[in-house]
Chains A and B, each alone.
Chain A
Amino acid sequence: MSDMREFRPGADPSSRLPPRSGDDGVAGALPPQAGRGDEASAYNFAYLDEGTKRMIRRALLKAVAVPGYQVPFASREMPMPYGWGTGGVQVTAAILGRSDVLKVIDQGADDTTNAVSIRRFFAKTAGVATTTHTAEASVIQTRHRIPERPLTENQTLVYQVPIPEPLRFLEPRETETRQMHALAEYGLMHVKLYEDISRHGHIATTYAYPVEVAGRYVMDPSPTPKFDNPKMDDCPALQLFGAGRERRIYAVPPYTKVRSLDFEDHPFRVQRFDQPCALCAAEGVYLDEMLMDDSGRRMFICSDTDHCEERRAAGHVGTEGVA
């Protein structure tokens, strides 16, 4: 089994997923020491046992084959609470190989609790190299943001998803929402956007903004800001979504059409920022508002910390930046 973990990330998303060997229920047929790391850790490589990884990979293959369709999977208990990215962590564990380089983003930042913990978790249980640089990473696990730097065919983006069902808040019955997906009855999704406009005068949904994938399934792009929706469209990288609590996996294969829903007279628009990043003077990027002191002074800086650092290293200086 050890050669199975040596595959390198490639342009073809399926190359990341090992071939099926024979019978489906082969968890018991695996050698007892399968996947044990060289570090003689008590954990299997990347924490999950090989049977579980295989189950998740099967779900991933199905998800890639039917873009935007929510595939149920037997989500496991992870050593972290629901809502902290248990779905994303399981997907990452299932696709991680020894040669992968992992980057973890939380709200765009590499240095927040969630990102640091998950990065450490895989450094410890899989012994893989980790990075904060988007360009160096082969697997990027994210909550909320898609990096500002365009992704490549050699990268896989793994999203942590809290609520995978875009129709959930309008239709509480799972049996009914499945039916609606099956028959592509998505009128209700527009009812949500209609409600937005009638209440606020414009489509006020700024995150988890529903998209139509490959002209078929409507998908919730997890809590990413709608600013990032256009990056999902025709993206060279494979995008995988894992919802641990809700036990669903879905995917957007590379170079797939992803269209944000809208009305003819209220077209989809991303938010614009009046000013560039205060630290690196970047424009056309997603900014976070930072309170500076008790008197309410504030500045807007890049949400993508890696992007901001790289620009500053390259000599770009904003109004609050240090040259």
Chain B
Amino acid sequence: MSDALLQARGLTKRYGARLACADISFDLDPGEVLAIVGESGSGKSTLLSLIATELAPDAGTVSYRMRDGVMRDLAGLSKAERRALMRTDWGFVRQDATQGLRMAVSAGGNVGERLMGLGERHYGQIRAQAIDWLDRVEIAADRIDDPPTRFSGGMRQRLQIARNLVTTPRLVLMDEPTSGLDVSVQARLLDLIRRLVAELGLAVIIVTHDLAVARLLSHRVMVMRAGRVVETGLTDQVLDDPADAYTQLLVSSVLAA
């Protein structure tokens, strides 16, 4: 486990007396897709925010293997280093696209922002890369100058993915990327994510309440309930042969179409 990309150790977060995350530890390998599943209020999103250092944990650490191969505690990074890491080596695809995109800026500007943040100062090259990425997420090149306000929900999510992947990050966090989309759009988005993850060898932590999403995308599943991890293991194993009573309930709650 010494070559893990990300290590969480004993992550704990309380909101007042309420426990949101209790002593959560896991390792994530490079190129591995980990799904965090559980019902609403189980602490999944809090856990994701703790990993992304958007929330400070009450206890525990998150360490990440930087590009130079050194494992570093994220809390020990300076704010500048942390922000630089988040916008180059990490991506964050939000449930609500309006939070992950600049809605007043064109699609091309949204995709180009990270490049310009890295110091790219050649308009032609920024635009060429934006067109390339829009194509890879199946957005027509002639939509490049439209703002995301004119995009459908599915297109917005795909634009968010392009915006995050343009700097070829190694780790992408996704918070319910498919919720609120109708099933056919969901299927297309999941296909796209699966293809990009395989092509780029991305490590992904995906939070979802939809077990089908977990089954389709992830290698491993972590089941959460009331702030605790109740079961963890290979996706097939956990979903086909759940050991924990709560996981059994969760799996049996899925309606067959």
- Mark A residues whose CB is within 8 Å of B: 169-170, 179, 183, 185, 187-188, 190-191, 194-195, 197-199, 262-266
Docked pose: A195 CA to B113 CA in angstroms:
11
Contact of B113 among A183, A187, A265 (CB under 8 A): A187
| Beta-carbon contact of A187 and B79 below 8 Å | no
| Beta-carbon contact of B122 and A187 below 8 Å | no
Number of B interface residues in the complex (CB < 8 A): 25
Those 8 A-B pairs whose CB atoms lie nearest each other, nearest first: A187-B117, A187-B116, A190-B116, A263-B123, A264-B122, A183-B80, A191-B109, A198-B145
Query: In the complex, which residues of chain A have a beta carbon less than 8 angstroms from the beta carbon of B126?
Result: 194
Stretch at the interface among B29-37, B100-108, B205-213: B100-108
Interface residues of B in 144-202 (CB under 8 A from A): 144-145
- Mark B residues whose CB is within 8 Å of A: 79-80, 83, 102, 104-106, 108-109, 112-119, 121-124, 126-127, 144-145
Contact of A187 among B80, B104, B105, B118 (CB under 8 A): B118
Query: In the complex, which residues of chain B have a beta carbon less than 8 angstroms from the beta carbon of A194?
Result: 108-109, 112, 116, 123, 126
| Beta-carbon contact of A185 and B121 below 8 Å | no
Closest partner residue, chain B, to A172 (CB atom): B104
Closest partner residue, chain A, to B127 (CB atom): A198
Query: In the complex, which residues of chain B have a beta carbon less than 8 angstroms from the beta carbon of A262?
Result: 121
CB distance from B91 to the nearest CB of A (A): 16
Query: In the complex, which residues of chain A have a beta carbon less than 8 angstroms from the beta carbon of B117?
Result: 185, 187-188
| Beta-carbon contact of B102 and A191 below 8 Å | yes
Query: In the complex, which residues of chain A have a beta carbon less than 8 angstroms from the beta carbon of B116?
Result: 187-188, 190-191, 194
Query: In the complex, which residues of chain A have a beta carbon less than 8 angstroms from the beta carbon of B113?
Result: 187-188, 191
CB<8 Å pairs between A and B, sample of 26: A169-B104, A179-B79, A179-B83, A183-B79, A185-B117, A187-B115, A187-B117, A187-B118, A188-B113, A188-B117, A191-B105, A191-B109, A191-B112, A194-B108, A194-B112, A195-B105, A195-B109, A198-B106, A198-B108, A198-B127, A198-B144, A198-B145, A199-B145, A263-B123, A264-B122, A266-B123
